[in-house]
Amino acid sequence: MKILKSILLTIGITTACTNQGSLPKNILGHTVPQNNITLKLKDTLFPKDSIDNPDFILSFEHYIILASPNAEQMLSIYNTQNGDVQKLQKKGRGPNELLNINQIGVFPNSNSFYVFDNLKNELFIYTLKENIWVLEEIRGFNEFMTFHIESTHTLGVSRKSDSFRYMLLQNSDEHKTYFHNYSLLNVDIPTGRILYQGHCVANEALSRFAWFSFYGETYSVMDYSNLDDIKIIREAIYQEVSHTSSNNVPTFSVETVLGFSSITGSKDNIFTLYNGKKILEFNNSGRDLLLCNDICVFDWDGNYITHLISDMAIKCISYN
């Protein structure tokens, strides 16, 4: 049953955004149209005990892929056409094993998806062969903190640059373009990388790239149509990260608010799962506080346009 909550979420997002309501609700300091999403549970083809406890979801074509970093088999792949479930990818430090899952995504114009292990700095690439998903390649990948892969570029937060925050990598020749910093947040590069962790999403057709914070409430949307002058077209700070420093090492305060815990994009919109809880609540609760009900919808100009409210708490979202 639990898997269907994720399936219907992708459908609910699609329908709700085409019919904006008129009831206002204030989130992020804005009053925007509000819509309620009703998730309906129905019988499914999938085993009820197959879902584990996923932290990431990827929905494309007729597949739904769930990534559970703490499960023995870390990936669960659901075929919504025939009900097949495939479990794969052992957890461990050995060859062909994942130590952690930090990100999951699909390669454009292909039948492949990737999983990023940020502890081993490796990209695991899976390909569909004779209706079975197999590990095709493991690629060293240590340039980004978080990223989005397009057909021609990979964009994300640079892991290595001493002067810049973001990097655009040409997939063909690996030429690198660096841009922007943390000046608006009043922190230097090393501090910014620690405090302002987040998620990336991009729209290749519009040449737009967006970053949303996991800690604090801030985001940026950029236009990279001119690689010689990548512009920030919208940047907002609703709440900075609360922190202290000892020996120049920043530490999160328990008053720090979690902002956007999951992100996905369509050709028209950016969908962000909004949390709003403080770290203090996580420290004092045994519940999974990553579960939340609010989805903030932005357009690719960075305007906050719609607030979706799910009747069931959800943990991660993916647009299909």
Predicted model pTM: 0.88
Q: Can you list the alpha helix ranges (DSSP code H) found in the chain?
A: 2-16, 189-195, 279-283
The one-letter code for the residue type at 72 is E
Tens of pLDDT, residues 35-86: 898 887 766 667 666 677 889 999 989 999 999 988 889 999 999 888 889 9
Helix H or strand E encompassing 210: strand 208-213
Name 131's Cβ contacts closer than 8 Å, sequence gap at least 6: 84
Q: How confident is the model at residue 132 (pLDDT cuts 50, 70, 90)?
A: very high
Other C-beta atoms closer than 10 Å to the C-beta of 3 total: 22
Tens of pLDDT, residues 173-202: 989 999 999 988 888 898 899 899 999 999
Tabulate helix, strand, coil % of the chain (nearest 5): 10, 50, 40
DSSP 235-274: EEEEEPPPEEEETTEEEE-TTPBB-EEEEEE-SSEEEEEE
Other C-beta atoms closer than 10 Å to the C-beta of 12 total: 23
